[in-house]
Amino acid sequence: MSRLDKPKRRSNALAARNMACLGAVMCCLCSGGGTCPDLIGTPPLGVVTPGPSNSYGVVQDLDKPEVNSPPQKTDWAQPPPCIAESAFFKNSPKGFHWPDRGDELSLRVLEEYGAILVARGGVVAPPVVIFPDRDAVARWQSSLSTEQAELAGIPVRLQSAALQALMKAREEALQAHLAISPRGTDAAQRSYDETLELWRSRVDPGLLHWVDNRLLSAAEADRLRKLPPHEQASEILKLENHGLFFSKDFSKSILFSVAPPGASQHLSMLAFDVKEHSNPIVRSILEHHGWFQTVTSDLPHFTYLGANKHQLPSLGLKMVRERNRVYWIPDIACSPAVNP
């Protein structure tokens, strides 16, 4: 069926839109404006343009439901009182660099991955939301107290207190005839380049997918591939605001799958991907030793917070449930204004 052979209900809707546009033109003419600049060059309603039709290179399709963009984020360089007075803000590391004005990417990462900032138990939280490059990551990692152990034949390096807590959790699991082992060779510490490689493993297939589905122009996809990591990540999240998702199955945000380069909790050596994550007893044992799930939908991922479950709200974290899992995320949302 061609795009011109659509049901009558769609034709009626388009007719209504045409009448609205005609009314706008008439208003401009009657007011002496002569022309309506916003309407000049507008493609015929209901026709998919052959190339990019907006600033993101997304090809508009009127047959698909519109995806509303999320509301604008708060300016975190000067947080409002509801944030500055929050437990999360007060428990963030001394000297921590909050996102600059307009840095939407860092704010989003803070919301999704920020629980690590209130980690206790003798560990060091990262000084920034996103490390800018491999040198910054390498310098910071070299300043930390770390230890390494071989688990199930895989070398695992973490901050010292985190590894010691993990070893105690493994001992408790062994007594229950259970195992806690790494999910892969990159289950613990990662380098900046490893986070970049993982990011590209989602972005590159996603760009191909949306170009093949004619919802992204080939030229725009090529431009995105060539962007520096931080800029590229920002643009990918803008595409997701329009419904073009970059998770493995293209159904949800890329942030539920991988972190932007320089933003992974694994860079801080306070994260561990657990092979046996589906066992609720294993999850309970890990919690008992300060390991919690803090990245919603990342099922194998655990974060060392160095506190017990009852302390987490006082540190500024809130509990959310999703598909029978418990996650602890930053409690930094301001309440909506209430009309008197």
Model pLDDT, residue 97: 82
What average pLDDT values come out for the chain (340 residues) when binned by 10 residues? 45 44 42 39 33 45 41 50 82 84 86 95 94 96 97 97 98 97 96 97 97 96 96 96 95 92 97 98 98 94 97 96 94 58
Tell me the three state secondary structure of residue 54. Answer: coil
Model pLDDT, residue 270: 98
- Running DSSP on this structure, what letter comes out for residue 216? B
Tokens 């229950």 appear where? Answer: 176
Model pLDDT, residue 31: 42
Domain boundaries, the chain: 72-340
Model pLDDT, residue 71: 40
Model pLDDT, residue 9: 45
Model pLDDT, residue 257: 84
Whole-angstrom distance, CA of residue 203 vs CA of residue 209 = 10
Query: What is the β-pairing status of strands 271-273 and 291-292?
Result: unpaired
Residue-wise DSSP of 237-299? HHHHHTT---STTSSS-GGGT-PPTT--GGGGT-EEEBTTTT-HHHHHHHHHTTEE--STT-T
Cβ contacts of residue 58 below 8 Å, gap of 6+? 52, 215, 216, 220, 239, 242, 244
Q: Are 104 and 237 in contact (CB under 8 A)?
A: yes
